[in-house]
Structure 1
């Protein structure tokens, strides 16, 4: 596994932020690695997008044991 995902070719109507948000809405327990693979983004890009979405109020997280939900 690992490495940088293959980038999208062409263009799309949906932003990366919307793709990440939709993926999280589909599975709230998805790991950043899974979201990145599904959206064909790097893990770092997904971390930044999640941070942006939290700052804008679209997402929130809570600590549960050793993980976040």
Structure 2
């Protein structure tokens, strides 16, 4: 797993649901434990978020032994009226970078 960022307090631009979706987009076979660490959430919170996303059709999973493989529905439209017409794919294009791009770009501070 790539380095886990330090914890943060206060408000943020990105919701926990978007963070979890981005973590799954980065690795569709990722474990809930790894998503929780990456997103700085509890495993229980990640499980609830995954359940929310599955219930509303943004995400599905298949089970192979002890491993889940998640599938994101990229054409599903975002829920909030302010994002009317924007798809999950457009959101993820902002949140998920190709690993090679991530290694090239320095983090702005």
Corresponding residue of 1:3: none
**TM-score between the two structures when normalised by the length of structure 1:** 0.84
Could you tell me which runs of 5 or more consecutive residues in structure 2 were left unpaired when the two chains were aligned: 1-5, 70-109
Q: Secondary structure at the match of 1:62?
A: strand
- CA RMSD in angstroms, aligned pairs only: 1.4
Give the structure with higher Rg (CA). 2
How many residues get paired?
A: 64
Distance 2:45 2:7 in 1: 12
Distance 2:15 2:67 in 1: 27
Deviation at 1:8, TM superposition (A): 2.6
Q: Which has the higher contact order (CA 8 A, sep 6+)?
A: 1
**TM-score between the two structures when normalised by the length of structure 2:** 0.55
Could you tell me which runs of 5 or more consecutive residues in structure 1 were left unpaired when the two chains were aligned: 1-5
Corresponding residue of 1:66: 66
